[in-house]
Structure 1
Amino acid sequence: MISFIISLPAASADATVLYDYVLSTDGSAETRSASVPLSLLPQPPERQTEVVVLLPMSALSWHQVTLPKGSLARGLRADRGASRLRAILDGLLEDRLLDEPAQLHLALQPQPVAEVPVWVVACDRAWLHAHLQALTQAGLAAGRIVPEFTPEALAQTLYVVGDEQQPVLVGGRLLSCPLSVTAVNWLGEPTAEGVLPAVVAEPAVAAQAESLFKRPVTLQQRSQRLLQAAQTSWDLAQFDLVNANRDRAWAQLAQGVKSLLHAPPWRAARLALVALVLVNLVGLNAWALREQMALQGKRQAVRAVLGSTFPNIPVVVDAPLQMAREVAALQRASGAAASTDMEAMLASLGVQLPATQTLMAIDYQAQTLRVKVPAVSAAEQARLALALKQQGLAASWDGTQWVIQPGPTP
């Protein structure tokens, strides 16, 4: 994936402040880098580019806290528990912060665990939101927000950054201070095992670092360090910035749809899509016409059977219904019981009713049979209605009685 890393300046967002950026086509090696005003930041070459915003060490403060049990909601409850977790962090850090918690943006380390010490990073909320908004308006919405240095990167390494006039030493205690003999003695002391921390310096301050540390240092370009910082698992877009990321994602999706509909490079794709839709419409219409002709053929066959069986019917309106009526009339004329007669309905109902069931009242009018019986359970109602449906009868429970009528042929 293409990475576009933008380092925020410690100053407030305005038209003159400079942004350091690094563009990498493979996410690991530098392709291009520069320090330019916001208006001159290049647009990502592809929509698959991940925009990573990097926060400078000087703008951050680091704190370790122990979260109480149950403060970290997971899964579907994570969004609802975010405000509660933020309130917990405000309470834990209230005595350690120089500013009011409401004025700061807070973020937890990746995969925090309750009841053990975890890192919390804080920065000025208004400063961060102003830069993020300026970048979004420039078409560079942040996909991730990372710190310039992490506790893992500074565990056994010191970094000397800046220029010859203002060299800065960043140490394992997550502190940055001017490079001096005192700072070197303080942050560069050996570990408990007697191991000296490694020293990495930018080329502009490498000579000063070697002079003060009195040993060789590892050279690293600033652009390489920014790339290295962007590859960590940290993401400071938490709490209120989570919703902002979702809004930016929807905006990017809308922009992508707009580009697909109007941008010249997508013209061939649009034509192919239109052609595909037209082909499918033609195919669906042809299939529907074929099915309609087949159905019409079946209807004609039914009409022919009705006409040949009962030639006395002058006009065919509903062939199955008319045939059923004629068959019932023949049955009545011959003395045989039709399926819609009261005797046939009672016989079908009697087979399905429990032997202990007592009929309290019977009423039959216009091919509708009403039989009053004692209360029937819902399960029994469903069973009997299904059984009668299979015999071509529609049965329903009317609160105190069964209502049975001719139904569709099973």
Structure 2
Amino acid sequence: MSTLIVLLPPLPLESFSAATPFDYVLSDDDRSPTRHDRAAASLLPVGGKGGTEVVAVVPAQALSWHRLELPRGSLGRGAMAKASLKAASKTSSGGTPRLRAVLEGLLEDRLLEEPGELHFAVQPDARDGAAVWVAACQRSWLRAALAVLEAAKRPATRIVPEFAPPDGDAAPEAAPLQVLGTPAHAQLASIGAHGVSLLPFSAAALALAQAQAGSDEPLHVVAEPAVAQLAEELAGRPVTLSTSAERWLAAAHSRWDLAQFEFSGSGRNQFWKELAQQARTFWQAPQWRAARWGLGVLAAAQVLGLNAWAWKESSSLDNQRAVIRNTLTQTFPSVKLVVDAPVQMERELANLRQAAGAPSGRDLEAMLGALGQATPPGMVLTAIDFNNGEARVKGLESQSGELAGPLSAQGYAARLEGDQIVIQPAPGSRP
């Protein structure tokens, strides 16, 4: 399954239309970019046989980050969608009106816009009574951008931030300092305990980011190729190169999902989203590498074991067939070609009995003897026709149903055809 990562353009609301270009990254293995380009929503590539997961990335300039401590009972039972199945089993599908009201009340004095015009998303694994990160963006802008993708039949299955702050003492998912853009409009994304801030890139912005980190050690700087030289000059040290495609692909692996409240899907869709997220985490996360190797070794051992067992059974069957063929050819040297050993052996035995004058269950005498034991006294046969081991008798038509059981016990099958009863050795019997 391929992954299509689409950057939602930070455009004015009225600028969105079917012709709006979207920057995108297509990855066939979900690990490295396969294609990076810009196209209208209807021209965005779709995957092959395995399908495509569409991940929408909200750019850093469209999000603000706020650290809150949720009052106890805010999340309730099933307040929001989380990025783990364990958490999802305790929650519903993306947020409750009560949680929305709590967030509006807590953020009212921190926002430049009316809370009702904004969309909020709470960090994964949020807990009552604990400090959590809350992302906020313009609701109508997000709705318009997603609507264009949906109209082009590329609906987003997840919505992730371009950058996300670390949770508690955890390390940030991205490098602490990222330099983006072009030399004329370079920007510095600073990621840390203060959240995510986006500033015009300058020596002062670097000093501020270093001060926010509260560390004497120089922070790791990652820069896009276009601004790498500028970043090295202002930072006074080498920087790591990273393209925007690699950055968005890394963002798609984030545990965050901004599709909450009105943007969350149904409970069923949410379940499959959570399941896909868990599968992706298991397949890619470094901490699961040993488990993946163990699972692969176990699967390989099972396949090898089944093949070995099948080979052993096949060899055993071949040996048994060889024994049967040898028994036939050694007992009856006249048989040169073995096609069906049991049938050929039975035929040779019948020929020997016939040559020696010994009775056989296929003889008329044997059939009449069995018929005599099966019929009640006083019954008279009116006609007998015997040909090639099959006897046809008349006069017992009324007794056809009562003869089947006794004849079957002696190794014969009987059936009624018109006014005749047909008697012959039962398949597989040796009368």
Interval containing the TM-score (normalised by the shorter chain): 0.5 to 0.7
Gapped regions of structure 1 (runs ≥ 5): 251-410
Residues 91, 46 of structure 1: alpha-carbon distance in 2 compared, 3 angstrom cutoff: farther
Alignment root-mean-square deviation, CA: 2.7
Gapped regions of structure 2 (runs ≥ 5): 79-88, 167-171, 273-431
Question: Aligned residue for 2:35?
Answer: 32
- In the alignment, is residue 116 of structure 1 matched against residue 130 of structure 2? yes
Q: CA deviation at 1:247?
A: 7.8
**What secondary structure does 2:178 align onto?**
strand
Query: Does the 8 A contact of 1:190 with 1:196 survive in 2?
Result: no
Residues 130, 192 of structure 1: alpha-carbon distance in 2 compared, 3 angstrom cutoff: closer
- In the alignment, is residue 78 of structure 1 matched against residue 92 of structure 2? yes
Q: 1:164 aligns with which of 177, 183, 196?
A: 183
Q: CA deviation at 1:194?
A: 2.0
Stretch of structure 1 that moved more, 190-199 or 128-137:
190-199
Residues 234, 170 of structure 1: alpha-carbon distance in 2 compared, 3 angstrom cutoff: same
Question: Aligned residue for 2:197?
Answer: 175
Question: Aligned residue for 1:137?
Answer: 151
Letter in 2 for 1:231: H
Question: Aligned residue for 2:164?
Answer: 150
Q: 1:45 aligns with which of 44, 48, 52?
A: 48
**1-side partners of 2:179 and 2:158: how far apart?**
25
- In the alignment, is residue 220 of structure 1 matched against residue 242 of structure 2? yes
TM-score (norm 1): 0.57
Summarize deviations over 1:137-187 as a string: whole Å, max 9, x none. 101011100000011337762000111221110002411011112111111
Question: Aligned residue for 2:8?
Answer: 8
Question: Aligned residue for 1:305?
Answer: none
Q: 1:54 aligns with which of 47, 54, 57?
A: 57
Residues 171, 193 of structure 1: alpha-carbon distance in 2 compared, 3 angstrom cutoff: closer
- In the alignment, is residue 125 of structure 1 matched against residue 144 of structure 2? no
- In the alignment, is residue 194 of structure 1 matched against residue 216 of structure 2? yes
Seq. identity, %: 44
Query: Does the 8 A contact of 2:223 with 2:240 survive in 1?
Result: yes
**1-side partners of 2:74 and 2:177: how far apart?**
34
Question: Aligned residue for 1:63?
Answer: 66
TM-score (norm 2): 0.54
Query: Does the 8 A contact of 1:167 with 1:178 survive in 2?
Result: yes
Question: Aligned residue for 1:236?
Answer: 258
Correspondence list, 1:369-408, <5 A: none
Q: CA deviation at 1:249?
A: 10
Correspondence list, 1:354-365, <5 A: none
Letter in 2 for 1:195: E
- The answer to which structure, 1 or 2, has the higher relative contact order (CA under 8 A, 6+ apart) is 2
**What secondary structure does 2:57 align onto?**
strand
Correspondence list, 1:284-303, <5 A: none
Letter in 2 for 1:49: T
**1-side partners of 2:246 and 2:135: how far apart?**
23
Letter in 2 for 1:237: A
Query: Does the 8 A contact of 1:189 with 1:196 survive in 2?
Result: no
Question: Aligned residue for 2:414?
Answer: none
Query: Does the 8 A contact of 2:203 with 2:234 survive in 1?
Result: yes
Letter in 2 for 1:166: H
Letter in 2 for 1:66: E
**What secondary structure does 2:109 align onto?**
coil
Letter in 2 for 1:18: P
Q: CA deviation at 1:46?
A: 4.1
Correspondence list, 1:261-410, <5 A: none
